[in-house]
A and B are shown apart, each in its own frame.
Chain A
Amino acid sequence: MLVDFASVASKIESGGTLFLAGDETLLKRLPKGNWIGGTIPYFMDQKGGTMSKDTIFLTEAPAAVSGRKIAWYGESELARLVPEAPDNGFSLVIIPATSPAHISYARNAPGYEGIFIKPIIGWIAGVHLDDVGKVAPKVFNGATGECSDSKAIAMHLVLPRGKQASIGIVNLFRQGKGEVISFEEEGFSVANCLLGGKKVNFSEYLVSKKIDTRLPLVADYSGTLVNVSFQSIDEKKRTVAFYAPVFKNVQYRIAEPIQDYVKSFSATMPSGSVNPAFSCNCILNYLYANLEGKRTGTITGPITFGEIAYQLLNQTLTYLEIIDSGK
């Protein structure tokens, strides 16, 4: 929930284990304690989408958590996330947008050994859209008061026997009926793509077909739909940039258009029983769907520059639940 500075400080001082999102000027003044945080001034609150530099989005760790550890991960240390995560529990990770850690995690996380065995959820910290390119997004280790614009911060949380963490996503987008698109190069930017096995310049293709680049590329990972959002088309350099990397040997399609984002959110939300312990949604959904002042079901959280459900996602609402596992 969105709360004022004094309320967050009080929660920290009373020993709460907290995940925080807010403006840098607020986060850097908070007392030390069991918290991690990242910068962003956009939120989905109970009253709807909002921009605020005066309040902080506070998520309290689930009551079931029985232990915690906070750790920094630099670009070359991120693969350690998985072995250092608890055998039963989850890890919440926040990474500054466009940082070396962001790029590294986006490219490499799907290949980390054991990545899908240990629930890893999180988000990419950002800034006010007027400050993009001028102010660096930052993440905070509340235990020490340190902040970073280059490393990831993670809190590993242990759950007791009988409880497990489950990560879900709400992706409004479905694969459209257009051509299958694949890539020979991997990364956040490409020149060419393969259409039916034939190499073509991707920027020329998108322009000539008048593709609406607010619609992401969508890949179907055995039922899990993963988006890669378009950042820009550089017609001079004949390149296309994305907010997440594309990968080789993955078949993408441009998403089907969405008529009404808010209605689609309501329709796509898991029915009834979802009670997220943490959730976040994407800044592109906020922008393209004009979500300011509008609610997207009952799920609230920071509006982010990328979402993490094991690997980096785009244009996707991501949430974590704690369930009774009986094990």
Chain B
Amino acid sequence: MIPSKSDGGWAKLVKGEVQYSLKSVPAGLMVSRMKRETAASDDPATLRRCIDEVYGFFEKYETILRDDIAIIFGKEA
């Protein structure tokens, strides 16, 4: 199970507040795009949209992204 959308880890991820080196190709590409988008806009709606998108991605591909979920949220996630 991935953490709920309200977990602060998602905001840190898309804002690039913690730099992760992710294993999955689409995860790396997507997170980098989110970081550029949040860096370019202070609008809270941008942050919410990025969290929605990245959460939906991790939820859909949870099996493929198991290693990356552990990197971001720790082994217990």
Contact = CB atoms under 8 A, between A and B. Distances in A.
Interface of A: 110-111, 114, 116-117, 119, 164, 166-169, 220-224, 226, 249, 309-311, 323-327
Contact size class for B?
A: 20 to 34
A245 to B, nearest CB: 15
Given A116-B33, A326-B63, A222 B21 contact: yes
B26 interface: yes
Given A116-B57, A222-B20, A223-B23, A310 B64 contact: no
Interface string B16-47: 00011111111111111101100100000000
A223 B20 CA distance: 7
Nearest to A168: B25
Most buried by B among A223, A226, A311, A323: A223
Contacts of A327: 60, 62-63
Given A222-B21, A222-B31, A323-B63, A116 B26 contact: yes
Most buried by A among B21, B23, B64: B64
The interface residues of chain B, by DSSP majority, are classed as: helix
Given A223-B23, A327-B63, A117 B56 contact: yes
Given A119-B26, A222-B20, A222-B27, A166 B64 contact: yes
Contacts of B26: 116-117, 119, 167, 310
Nearest 9 pairs between A and B by C-beta? A224-B28, A223-B21, A116-B30, A221-B32, A223-B22, A222-B28, A116-B26, A222-B31, A223-B28
Contact of A249 (B36, B53, B60): B36
A327 B28 CA distance: 22
Given A116-B33, A222-B20, A222-B32, 7 more contacts: A116-B30, A164-B61, A221-B31, A224-B32, A249-B36, A327-B60, A327-B62
Given A223-B20, A249-B36, A117 B60 contact: yes
A110 B33 contact: yes
A310 B63 contact: no
A246 to B, nearest CB: 14
B63 A116 contact: no
A164 B63 CA distance: 9
A221 B29 CA distance: 6
A321 to B, nearest CB: 9
A326 B1 CA distance: 13
A223 to B, nearest CB: 4
A167 B25 contact: yes
Nearest to B30: A116
Contacts of B64: 164, 166, 323, 325
Nearest to B68: A223
A324 B62 CA distance: 11
Contacts of A326: 63
A326 to B, nearest CB: 6
A224 B57 contact: no
A116 B63 CA distance: 16
A324 B21 CA distance: 25
A2 to B, nearest CB: 27
A110 B29 contact: yes
Nearest to A118: B26
A309 B29 CA distance: 10
Contacts of A221: 28-29, 31-32
